[in-house]
Structure 1
Amino acid sequence: MLLKTFGWSFGITVIGLALAALYGGWTAFGIVAILAILEISLSFDNAVVNAGVLKKMSAFWQKIFLTVGVLIAVFGMRLVFPVLIVAITAKLNPVDAVNLALTDKDRYQQLVTDAHPAIAAFGSMFLLMIFLDFIFEERDIQWLRWIERPLSKLGKVDMLSVCIAMVVLLVSSFTVAASAHQHGGHHADKGQTVLIAGIAGLITYLVVGGLSGFFENRLEEEEEREQAEEEEAERKGRKRSAMALTGQAAFFMFLYLEVLDASFSFDGVIGAFAITNDIVLMALGLGIGAMYVRSLTVYLVRQGTLDDYVYLEHGAHYAIGALSGILIVTIQYQINEVITGLVGVVLIAWSFWSSVRRNRALAAEGSDDASQEKPEVSSGV
């Protein structure tokens, strides 16, 4: 199971490190290895959240996520995205931007750093919406009940998460964006840039998330109708009409996952410049890390880890909320990538330990269903 799921990741690791050694010797080899570890540590919470969405999809779309999705993640977000940002901010055509990345690495790094306020605003709003929609949703299983119980009641107010996100964006545009960090330690007023980019991130979430939710609901309604008419359908030999609908639902879920991955990758791409400004080494290192994140996502789905450790998804979403806040702060202040990674790791580790304690408590009570929440069982917090 382990080799089947992580086989491609192991293979890409060997190829990527070999290419790095050929490209720049042992120094490049070490840089790529460090970048891969950085990407994995920063994106573990991404894998947990992805698994919560991916488990609803068929085996076919899981394979698409591991193949086409990897190409988008590696070549799109880790290679094309930084170049595209430079092309837009510096008003260059893509060819000149690529040439700049390869021939004038310092200038290229400066342009990407100067574009960070817009990148951070877009990503923070997208991630903040994911966190808010999760925390405001009423659910049977709650981890930090003293937080989640009252917030789930507030979540009954329509569009509350959108209102909060807009307030956060407006405050950010007048505070941290008013003195945004730029290359060389300089600061500049990026209020308008942050506001526009944040609105774009919010719109992206509403469109992609709304479409995926719409088709998912349509799919559930169709499945319920067909289940009620199952005997008649089998007698007439009617084909399952929900196949096309399943494809639509899965496609928009896939699109949602790719945008989610893009938002998670922002801090990794920007943080990579603290290690190297060589776009080739950056693409190799972050690409290897992206492969492991995707393999880990599929592994969590196939092992049923989220069903066994029910607070993991909660911990990952809290990590998303923390990352959203960190991205906003980094518009003005620099935060070490180690801190960003540790925040996610601590929250997920905490939620995992709470899940283990819950399972032990349920087992001690002789529960027949260890996945069913009981009010009297403590989460350990």
Structure 2
Amino acid sequence: MFLKTFGWSFGVTAIALALALVYGGPQALILCLILGILEISLSFDNAVVNARILERMNPFWQKMFLSVGVIIAVFGMRVLFPLLIVGVTAKLNPVEAVNLALQKGDPDTPGTYGYLLHEAHPQIAAFGGIFLLMLFLDFIFEDRDIKWIKALEVPLARMGKLEGASMVTGLAALAAAGFLSGEKQGIVLLSGLMGMVTYLLVNGLGNLFDVDQDGDVDYDDASTALHTGPSGAAKLAGKAAFMLFLYLEVIDASFSFDGVIGAFAITSDPIIIALGLGLIGAMFVRSLTVYLVRQGTLDEFEYLDHGAHWAIGSLAVILLVTITVPVNEVVTGLIGVVFIGAAFAGSVARNRKAAAAAQPEERQPISAVNN
């Protein structure tokens, strides 16, 4: 099971490292490996959230996530997105943006590719930070039967009863980020609002084609099919799965913002960044996502969902903070690992406690017979 799921990732990693070695020698290989590890460490929470969405799709759309989704993640976010940002910021056409990227250059030197992308960081961080913050708020403001950090999640669930609590909180966070961003206040506010609009749009479209708790498709359309998986859970197909696929890709793109920007603290070479973040990082994130789905890990360790969303909330805050104050990439990478690790440990303890509580009940009939 493990090799079947991660086999392609290990194979692609070997190819990426070989290409890096041929391209720039041992130093490029080491940098490529570091970037791959950075992306994987940043994306544990991403994989958990992806898995929760992906488990609702049928096998066809899960394969689409591993094929078409990889192309979007590698070339769309790790290659084309930085070029687009630099092109818009510097008012360059696509050819000029590519030429500038291939020239590499020091990120601290004005006019270089890395410098221009760094200059665009405030609007990228505002967009991604608000998008992820809204995702976190919608989760944490919902009153759930299972709660992990009860001291925080119980009062937050009460706050969520206020109509539009997520919107109010998100706008307040954006206003604070804009107030502290100085001369870039206008572009930060605009980018943050675009992040919020994007979230509301993709979330609204997802709900339009959603499935309720009884397994009924809310959208009455003959092209929206419903399949049942081995566990008996409803699996989406057709338009419903397509909209969830789009939602998944937007979420995945938002998670990649910090990795793309942080990569330039390690190297400004776009080829090495594409190999490390794109081929290695993106492939492992997808394999980990599919592994979590096929193993049923999220149902077995029920706090993982909570840990992932707390990591998302922390990442959103960090992105908004980095608009004005630099934050070390190590902090960004470790915070997701810490939350996921703590949630996993809490889930194990919860399962053991539940198993211990169930044992006397299982033994009771046997005792009754002996008596």
TM-score w.r.t. length of structure 2:
0.89
Matched residues in 2 for 1:103 and 1:13: separation? 25
Q: 1:87·1:97 contact (CA, 8 Å) conserved in 2? A: yes
User: Residue 153 of structure 1: CA displacement?
Assistant: 2.2
Q: Which residue of 2 aligns with 1:66?
A: 66
Q: Which residue of 2 aligns with 1:198?
A: 192
- Give the 3 Å change call, closer, same or farther, for CA 241–283 of structure 1 in structure 2: closer
Q: Which residue of 1 aligns with 2:232?
A: none
| Amino acid paired to 1:133 | D
| Correspondence for 1:339 among 309, 313, 331 | 331
Q: 1:219·1:242 contact (CA, 8 Å) conserved in 2? A: no
Q: Which residue of 2 aligns with 1:372?
A: none
| Correspondence for 2:242 among 251, 266, 272 | 251
| Correspondence for 1:323 among 315, 330, 349 | 315
Q: 2:77·2:253 contact (CA, 8 Å) conserved in 1? A: yes
Matched residues in 2 for 1:92 and 1:40: separation? 32
- Give the 3 Å change call, closer, same or farther, for CA 140–68 of structure 1 in structure 2: same
SS of the counterpart of 1:141? coil
Q: 1:222·1:242 contact (CA, 8 Å) conserved in 2? A: no
Give 5+ residue unaligned stretches, structure 2: 107-111, 227-235, 362-371
**What CA deviation, in whole Å up to 9, does each residue of 1:131-163 have, x standing for no partner?**
000001111111111211222122122221011
| Correspondence for 1:211 among 205, 215, 233 | 205
- Give the 3 Å change call, closer, same or farther, for CA 223–167 of structure 1 in structure 2: closer
User: Residue 219 of structure 1: CA displacement?
Assistant: 10
User: Residue 312 of structure 1: CA displacement?
Assistant: 0.6
User: Residue 94 of structure 1: CA displacement?
Assistant: 1.0
| Amino acid paired to 1:216 | D
Q: Which residue of 1 aligns with 2:350?
A: 358
User: Residue 322 of structure 1: CA displacement?
Assistant: 0.3
Matched residues in 1 for 2:346 and 2:6: separation? 27
**Residue-pair matches, total:** 345
| Amino acid paired to 1:204 | T
SS of the counterpart of 2:265? coil
**Superposed counterparts of 1:47-62, under 5 Å:** 47-62=47-62
- Give the 3 Å change call, closer, same or farther, for CA 368–129 of structure 1 in structure 2: farther
| Amino acid paired to 1:174 | F
User: Residue 53 of structure 1: CA displacement?
Assistant: 0.8
| Amino acid paired to 1:136 | F
Matched residues in 2 for 1:313 and 1:90: separation? 40
User: Residue 349 of structure 1: CA displacement?
Assistant: 0.8
| Correspondence for 2:120 among 101, 115, 118 | 115
- Give the 3 Å change call, closer, same or farther, for CA 192–318 of structure 1 in structure 2: same
Q: Does 1:268 align with 2:268?
A: no
User: Residue 218 of structure 1: CA displacement?
Assistant: 7.3
Q: Which residue of 2 aligns with 1:43?
A: 43
- Report the more deviating stretch, 290-299 or 136-145: 136-145
| Amino acid paired to 1:314 | H
| Amino acid paired to 1:199 | L
Give 5+ residue unaligned stretches, structure 1: 179-188, 227-239, 370-381
User: Residue 247 of structure 1: CA displacement?
Assistant: 1.2
SS of the counterpart of 1:216? coil
Q: Which residue of 1 aligns with 2:231?
A: none
Q: 1:136·1:151 contact (CA, 8 Å) conserved in 2? A: yes
Q: Which residue of 2 aligns with 1:279?
A: 270
SS of the counterpart of 1:27? helix
SS of the counterpart of 1:105? coil
- Give the 3 Å change call, closer, same or farther, for CA 212–14 of structure 1 in structure 2: same
- Report the more deviating stretch, 243-252 or 257-266: 243-252
**What CA deviation, in whole Å up to 9, does each residue of 1:180-212 have, x standing for no partner?**
xxxxxxxxx110010000000000000001101
Q: 1:219·1:249 contact (CA, 8 Å) conserved in 2? A: no
User: Residue 336 of structure 1: CA displacement?
Assistant: 0.9
Matched residues in 1 for 2:252 and 2:269: separation? 22
The CA RMSD over aligned residues, in Å, is 2.0
**Superposed counterparts of 1:1-381, under 5 Å:** 1-106=1-106, 107-175=112-180, 177-178=181-182, 189-217=183-211, 222=216, 242-243=224-225, 246-287=237-278, 288-366=280-358
Q: Which residue of 2 aligns with 1:377?
A: none
Matched residues in 1 for 2:258 and 2:104: separation? 23
| Amino acid paired to 2:355 | A
SS of the counterpart of 2:52? helix
**What CA deviation, in whole Å up to 9, does each residue of 1:275-305 have, x standing for no partner?**
1000000000001111101100000010000
Matched residues in 1 for 2:340 and 2:129: separation? 19
Q: 2:209·2:218 contact (CA, 8 Å) conserved in 1? A: no
| Amino acid paired to 2:170 | A
Matched residues in 1 for 2:204 and 2:351: separation? 34
